[in-house]
Amino acid sequence: MNSKGKALVFLLCVTGVSVLLRGYALKYCDLKYQSICACKRCLSEDDQWFMKFVNKSVKPFLSANTSLPESAFNWWKRLQGERGSYSAYSKTVEGLFEIVPPKPDLVEPSSYRCRTCAVVGNSGNLKGSRYGPLIDFQDVVIRMNTGRTKGYEADVGNKTTHHIMYPESGMDLENNTHLVLFPFKIQDLLWVTKALTTGFTGTSYMPVKSKIKANKQLVMVISPAFIKYVHETWLQKKGRYPSTGFMALVMALHICDEVHVFGYGADKDGNWSHYWEKLKNKMLRTGVHPGSQEYDFILQLKEKQKIQFYSGW
């Protein structure tokens, strides 16, 4: 082969390698900058302010293959004067996972999916809001405690995929709704085990339903370590422990890509009223929960465009 032929072969080889490398580089860039979800705006991990609070290593729910750190148990047991030992807690959790699934039923994040959540609080500011269709449009609709939909569909919707409760606020659920237990003590873990099977016979500071209707395959239990994390990291140890509503919001930020928040905050008179009842105690506030700090944080999340916040009225 003459020198011109060799030069032509060399140029063809260089061109081929360049094209190949360019293809790999573009593919690498696509992977590197690929969105973490298919939403218009995701809860991006490159936001330094937001990432001061979000710790994805702290899982929202208990599972059979992870153990609770004893330090978290010792913090949690003080919330309502729990006297049981760590071994008693572990034994109760072991019995719980004989009844409910060993791991929570969650939709994993994907660049091809936008997991949208509606977190629906119980504030009286939902009355007359007409948010119902917007709430029902979201993939995940989280309600809590004795929040209800019948008769209030126009304002609060009628779809519920996850219902957060503790024994004293226990209620029957539809078969396609996740029961999300917010436990304060070992007895709460025992309650959900018994209430779904043979019936609970214990007592508490207020009446507790012995049995409830719910799908055992859709039960999820918020981890005491997650409660501690929300209290210490998100609320900077304000109040004794987070409210159910604030826990629900942070839980949503961990399991969803886009979060819409409804029914939070006081009514027009400054009371923390419920949309389904007439308030009798005009001095009602937030008790052991840091209500004003929680609400201020929600407004910060709105300002930072981490949530869509609907104030009602």
Annotated binding site for substrate: 80, 122, 145, 205, 241, 245, 265, 274, 289
120 close to 142: Cβ distance less than 8 angstroms: yes
Q: Which of 190, 260, 262, 176 is nearest to 221 (CA)?
A: 190
Q: Which of 178, 231, 289, 310 is catalytic?
A: 289
- Active site annotation includes 254: no
Q: Which of 89, 131, 229, 241 is catalytic?
A: 241
Number of alpha carbons in the 13 Å side-chain half-sphere of residue 88: 11
- Amino acid letter, 294: E
DSSP state of 148: -
Measured between its terminal Cα atoms, the distance across the chain in Å is 85
Question: How many beta carbons lie within 10 A of that of residue 298, not counting itself?
Answer: 22
- Active site annotation includes 289: yes
- Alpha-carbon torsion (46, 47, 51, 54), positive or negative: negative
How many Å apart are CA 105 and CA 107, to the nearest integer? Answer: 7
255 close to 304: Cβ distance less than 8 angstroms: no
Number of alpha carbons in the 13 Å side-chain half-sphere of residue 36: 12
Number of alpha carbons in the 13 Å side-chain half-sphere of residue 250: 30
Q: Where are the beta strands (DSSP E) in 131-257?
A: 140-144, 162-165, 178-181, 219-221
Residues belonging to the binding site are 80, 122, 145, 205, 241, 245, 265, 274, 289
List residues with catalytic annotation. 241, 289
